[in-house]
Amino acid sequence: MKIIRSSKKMSQAARECVATGKTLALVPTMGALHDGHLALVERAQKSADIVVVSIFVNPKQFGPDEDYLNYPRDNRRDLALLRERKVDFVFMPPVEDIYPEGFETFVSVEQITQTLEGKSRPDHFRGVTTVVAKLFNICRPDVAVFGQKDYQQAQTLKKMTTDLSYPIKFIVASTVREKDGLALSSRNQYFNARERAEARCLIVGLRAAHEAFKAGETSLIALKTLISVEAEAICPTIKFEYIALTEFETLEPLDAPQKGAMISLAASVHGVRLIDNLRL
Ligand code: PAF
């Protein structure tokens, strides 16, 4: 496994791979790796000859009151995990390599970033699309792999890939969950044991809504109420930011549940902001 810390060297290594006729898959991450990331790596290894994992905590996607400085970082552990998985390259540039002084060019996807996370976190997606566009330009992947847990992010990046004509196969891999259903997230490590046990409340609420829909519930209000009642029964202090029902591809809001639609939510659970989703 080769660790590369400069975009120039990464571009060069990627060009060398292409010259030998090998295909390259990129898994962009912000580190603090968990089994969800490792599932993306596995998917990448099945999809291309060479796998690059980037580790870069991207300052441009954090709001001023968000956890950029405290975001969990553990390079030594991350590198050990990736070495075990026989990843070919880890790209871990310093911030000034990606955003040199005077940097002022951004990529933004306009429509689908206006709802859900985009409402609660202005400029978040602009930061995500900008850094991923840069990673695409540097690594020139044939394949890129993202997780379904960050559903709006995945749809936004997919749109960017199409709109900017990147010749990249875009893979969205299923959310990996703990035994009790909690979606894996680097932020789960902020919880103590009791808080962690209560964090399953999100998926319990979502699954209850899914069951109710399957049993014939047609009211969106009823589904939303069910999610909050079920979640509050487990974590009485939960604070929902949003519970939304949208068309899967376009993220257009829907008034009534329909098969294939997406229910997404964001909530603060013991002060930790979590997101999750489930497709009807
Ligand atoms: O999902 C993440 O970890 C980040 O948003 C990403 C895609 C690596 C861009 O910084």
* CATH superfamily of the 2-173 domain: HUPs (3.40.50.620)
Q: Which atom of ligand 1 is nearest to the CA of 150?
A: 1
CATH topology of domain 186-279: Pantoate--beta-alanine Ligase; Chain: A,domain 2 (3.30.1300)
From CA 193, how far away is CA 156, in angstroms rounded? 34
Q: Which atom of ligand 1 is nearest to the CA of 132?
A: 9
29 CA to centre of ligand 1 in angstroms: 5
Give the mean model confidence (pLDDT) for residues 133-148.
98
**Nearest partner of 58 among 27, 21, 98, judged by Cα:** 98
Catalytic one of 37, 124, 210, 270: 37
Give the mean model confidence (pLDDT) for residues 14-18.
95
* Residues in CB range of 2: below 8 A, 6 or more apart: 13, 88, 89, 90
Residue nearest (by alpha carbon) to ligand 1 atom 1: 29
Dihedrals φ, ψ of 268, to 5°?
-95, 120
Pocket-testing residue among 55, 153, 161, 184, ligand 1, by greatest number of atoms within 8 A of Cβ: 153
Q: What's the pLDDT score for residue 120?
A: 87
Please report, for the chain, the start and end positions of each structural domain, with discontinuous segments joined by +: 2-173, 186-279
Percent of the chain clearing pLDDT 70 (strictly above): 100
DSSP assignment string, 6-71: -HHHHHHHHHHHHHTT--EEEEEE-S---HHHHHHHHHHHHH-SEEEEEE---GGGS-TTSSTTTS
Give the mean model confidence (pLDDT) for residues 178-188.
96
- Burial label, 88 (beta-carbon count in 10 A; 0-12, 13-18, 19+): buried
Does residue 132 line the site of ligand 1, with CB under 6 A? yes
From CA 110, how far away is CA 31, in angstroms rounded? 27
DSSP tally for the chain: helices H, then strands E:
10, 9
> What tens digit of pLDDT does each residue of 103-139 get?
999 999 999 999 999 998 999 999 999 999 999 999 9
19 CA to centre of ligand 1 in angstroms: 28
* In contact, 123 and 251? CB cutoff 8 Å: no
pTM for this prediction: 0.94
Q: Is 34 a catalytic residue?
A: no
Give the mean model confidence (pLDDT) for residues 139-154.
97
Q: Which atom of ligand 1 is nearest to the CA of 157?
A: 7
**pLDDT band, very low/low/confident/very high, at 67 (cuts 50, 70, 90):** confident
238 CA to centre of ligand 1 in angstroms: 25
173 CA to centre of ligand 1 in angstroms: 14
Dihedral-angle region of residue 277 (phi above 0 means left; psi in -120 to 50 means alpha; beta otherwise): beta
Mean residue pLDDT of the chain comes to 97
From CA 211, how far away is CA 228, in angstroms rounded? 15
pLDDT for residue 280 is more than 90: yes
Q: What's the pLDDT score for residue 88?
A: 98
Does residue 223 line the site of ligand 1, with CB under 6 A? no
* In contact, 31 and 58? CB cutoff 8 Å: no
From CA 234, how far away is CA 244, in angstroms rounded? 21
